[in-house]
Amino acid sequence: MPIASGKRPLIGFSLYDPFTAEMVRDIDEVDFIVIGDSLGMVFKRGSVRDTRLGDSLYHLRAVLSVIRDKPIYVDLPIGTYEEPGRAVENSRRVVEEGGYGVVVEGYWPRTWDALARAGIPYIVHLGYTPKYMDRPRVVRGDEGAKLLEMAREAEYRGAEMVKLELVETGIAGRIAEELEIPVIGVGAGPNVDGHILVIYDFLGLYPGFTPKFVKRYVDLIEIGRKGVESLVRDILTGRYPGPEESY
């Protein structure tokens, strides 16, 4: 577990490249990193189902080239963990590549048990599970009882943390109160133990995707576009390269 739950909110980011890794490397309050399967959306412009384990391991190595002092989890892609033996085999590949642990999306108790027996740290992702659902939906009302039951079982079977995605604030808060392990959220309100966020959404690097839980803090694409336009103008007008950039 990155830090003890309850002292302050846990903060984790999904990121997949050395450039965003540089942005967070020296921020002590960033506790952990996830190589999320959302890289299939951000880099392939497809869906989470387009991510392959080879993709995840490649991006793990890229992030490890910058970050060595924070736990890095790999979100196991669809088809790589539903069978327990395969889950352990693929998770060991993650650890051999330098990852700390894995994320398992959905309700797979036999896989949880196998990972626990193998000594591989894992996060269980519950609530909205985009690998298996075609459209986003928020867990509300009476659905909360079943979600709490699954979260309790994940804790019992050895999960290091539970991640809740698109869960009504009251339900997420109750689950965080009931569990001893940290409950982290994305689109799960403020009453959880911490947050795991796709960094590209918050930096304006994934335009056109603005769910309710995203708050954009900067538009890096627009900043970069303006910089490129200035460079092009300088080349066309002969201002670049100038004496300062010449040998």
Residue 4 has pLDDT above 70, yes or no: no
> What is the H or E stretch that residue 33 is in?
strand 32-35
pLDDT tens digits along 12-59: 999 999 999 999 999 999 999 999 999 988 887 888 999 999 999 999
Give the Cβ contact number of residue 103 at 10 Å: 21
Helix (H, G, I), strand (E, B) or coil at 18: helix
Residue 3 has pLDDT above 80, yes or no: no
**Paired residues of 122 in beta bridges:** 102
Contact 48, 41 (CB under 8 A): yes
Helix (H, G, I), strand (E, B) or coil at 225: helix
* Residues 16, 193: Cα–Cα separation, whole Å: 24
What's the mean pLDDT in 142-155?
A: 97
The number of residues in the chain equals 247
Residue 86 has pLDDT above 90, yes or no: yes
Enumerate the domain spans of the chain. Answer: 10-216, 220-247
Contact 12, 184 (CB under 8 A): yes
What is the DSSP secondary structure assignment for residue 58, as one 8-state letter? H
Residue 118 has pLDDT above 80, yes or no: yes
**Paired residues of 167 in beta bridges:** 139
* Residues 129, 164: Cα–Cα separation, whole Å: 9
* Of 133, 127, 194, residue with least CA distance to 167: 127
Q: Which residues contact 28 (CB under 8 A, 6 or more apart)?
A: none
* Residues 103, 35: Cα–Cα separation, whole Å: 9
* Residues 40, 144: Cα–Cα separation, whole Å: 29
> For the CA atoms of 75, 95, 11, 156, what is the dihedral angle to 10 degrees?
80
* Residue 165 falls in the annotated catalytic set: yes
Residue 117 has pLDDT above 90, yes or no: yes
What's the mean pLDDT in 184-203?
A: 96
Q: Which CATH superfamily is domain 10-216 in?
A: Phosphoenolpyruvate-binding domains (3.20.20.60)
Residue 6 has pLDDT above 70, yes or no: no
Q: Which pLDDT value is given to residue 5?
A: 52
Angle, CA of 156, 159 and 162, to the nearest 5°: 105
Residue 149 has pLDDT above 80, yes or no: yes
Q: Which pLDDT value is given to residue 207?
A: 82
**Which is catalytic among the residues 165, 180, 229, 245?**
165
Q: Which pLDDT value is given to residue 209?
A: 74
